[in-house]
Amino acid sequence: MAGLGKLVKQAEKMKRGIEALQTQLEAKEIDVASGGGAVKIKVNGTGKFLALTLDPEFLKEDPKLIADTVLAAVQDAAKQAKDYHEAEMAKVTGAFQLPGMF
């Protein structure tokens, strides 16, 4: 049963790591710009959108261009947040291995 005790300790360590990571992810701010800086989005490491800024001059452009640029910025921000989240989570969970697995 020594293996079970080690497994429990690993799980507890991983749980503490994930809890600490959640705080870090919430505090991490990722800035994304699109359209040469006309659209700026701030998102945190959990994927929560924090801010959207549109250049007033940009709003004079064709509505389709505005919509496409904003959508591209939102998609980029979501991807960057997801990639950051997954990379950081892998650091915490990567060392956790179940006996007999892999």
Tell me the pLDDT tens digit for each residue of 83-96. 999 999 888 877 66
* Max CA separation in the chain (angstroms): 70
Residue corresponding to tokens 């261009």: 65
Every domain of the chain and the residues it spans: 32-96
Residues 6 or more apart in contact with residue 14 via CB below 8 angstroms: 92, 93, 95, 96
Q: How confident is the model at residue 13 (pLDDT cuts 50, 70, 90)?
A: confident
Residues 6 or more apart in contact with residue 29 via CB below 8 angstroms: 42, 43, 44, 50
Bridge-partner residues for 34, per DSSP? Answer: 39
CB 49 within 8 A of CB 31: no
Q: Does pLDDT of 100 surpass 80?
A: no
Q: Is the dihedral angle over the CA atoms 54, 55, 56, 62 positive or is it negative?
A: negative
Instruction: Give CATH superfamily name and number for 32-96.
Output: Nucleoid-associated protein YbaB-like domain (3.30.1310.10)
Q: What is the pTM of this model?
A: 0.78
